[in-house]
């Protein structure tokens, strides 16, 4: 069964304090791993898609990496506006268009 | 930019009522999805549709049904609302067959069943 586990559940950082969020997954044939950002009271907003181990993508202070078992979302020198819940999701070969989401990591960045 | 809109941001209904949640996307996407989001459980797929009049059950379809009469519109129906259906409901769309691509989400409907 496809599964996604994110850690930690919550992360509190000082502004400028770099860190990483973890997404561990098991899937029958990875078609894509997705990262989303969700602000309180809003729908998730797409950040990245990673397709194969070794792939990396960057956007401003965020960098996503992928191995065969996990993905990391690295946040470099975060700012308070980076505070949000970050969701990881996977799509496998056996689920059609089904995407399995993790429970998310809530990030708080204090000025 | 893709825009996904949902008919209501907040909704309060009584147990036993029939509830309609509507979702519209404006980018000619093939796929549409309904999720519910609960604290600690993440997003759980209720139903999805990959074409007009086509639908597939997700992980938690019990107590729900869907309708997709037009490509741009996907409706979620709670036949007889119950208190355990109090949740945030999110609609999403994606391009379609052959694409392992991202989903675009609406703002969500926070449903409370009393």
| 3-state secondary structure string across A67-109 | CCCEEEEEECCCCHHHCEEEEEEEEECCCCCCCEECCCEEEEE
- Among A4-8, A96-100, B69-73, B80-84, the minimum mean pLDDT is found in A96-100
Give A9-67 pLDDT, tens digit per residue.
999 999 999 999 999 999 888 889 999 999 998 999 999 999 999 999 999 999 999 99
Please compute the mean of the pLDDT values over residues B6-21 and round it to a whole number. Answer: 96
**Chain A touched by B105 (CB under 8 Å):** yes
Confidence band (pLDDT; 50, 70, 90) for B1? low
Give the position of tokens 């194969």: A52
Contact between A44 and B105 (Cβ < 8 Å)? yes
Give A90-99 pLDDT, tens digit per residue.
988 776 668 8
The pLDDT assigned to B100 comes to 59
Rounded CA-CA distance A90/B50 in Å is 18
**Chain A touched by B45 (CB under 8 Å):** yes
Nearest-by-Cβ selection for B90 from A34, A43, A104: A43
Asked if B42 lies within 8 A of A42 by C-beta distance, the reply is no
More confident: B42 or B24? B24
Give A54-89 pLDDT, tens digit per residue.
999 999 999 999 999 999 999 999 999 999 999 999
* Strands laid side by side in the B19-25 sheet: B4-6, B19-25, B73-78, B64-70
For residue A5, what are the β-bridge partners? Answer: A24
The pLDDT assigned to B4 comes to 96
Asked if A87 lies within 8 A of B42 by C-beta distance, the reply is yes
Confidence band (pLDDT; 50, 70, 90) for B27? confident
Rounded CA-CA distance B19/B28 in Å is 26
């Amino acid at each position: 069964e496809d599964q996604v586990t994110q850690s930690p559940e919550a992360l509190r950082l000082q502004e400028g304090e770099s860190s990483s969020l973890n997404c561990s997954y098991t899937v029958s044939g990875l078609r894509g791993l997705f990262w989303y950002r969700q602000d309180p009271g809003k729908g998730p907003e797409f950040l990245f898609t990673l397709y194969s181990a070794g792939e990396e993508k960057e956007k401003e202070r965020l960098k996503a990496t992928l191995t065969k078992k996990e993905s990391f979302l690295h946040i470099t020198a975060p700012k308070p506006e980076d505070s949000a819940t970050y969701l990881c999701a996977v799509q496998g070969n056996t689920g059609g268009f089904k995407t399995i989401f993790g429970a998310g990591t809530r990030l708080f960045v204090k000025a | 930019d893709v825009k996904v809109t949902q008919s209501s941001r907040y909704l309060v209904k009584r147990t036993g009522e029939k509830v309609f949640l509507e979702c519209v996307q404006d980018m000619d996407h093939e796929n549409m999805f309904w999720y519910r989001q609960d604290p600690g459980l993440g997003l759980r797929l209720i139903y999805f549709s990959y074409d007009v009049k086509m639908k597939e059950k997700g992980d938690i379809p019990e107590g729900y049904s869907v309708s997709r009469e037009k490509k741009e519109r996907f409706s979620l129906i709670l036949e007889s609302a119950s208190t355990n259906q109090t949740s945030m409901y999110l609609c999403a769309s994606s391009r379609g067959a052959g694409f392992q691509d991202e989903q675009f989400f609406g703002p969500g409907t926070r449903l409370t069943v009393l």
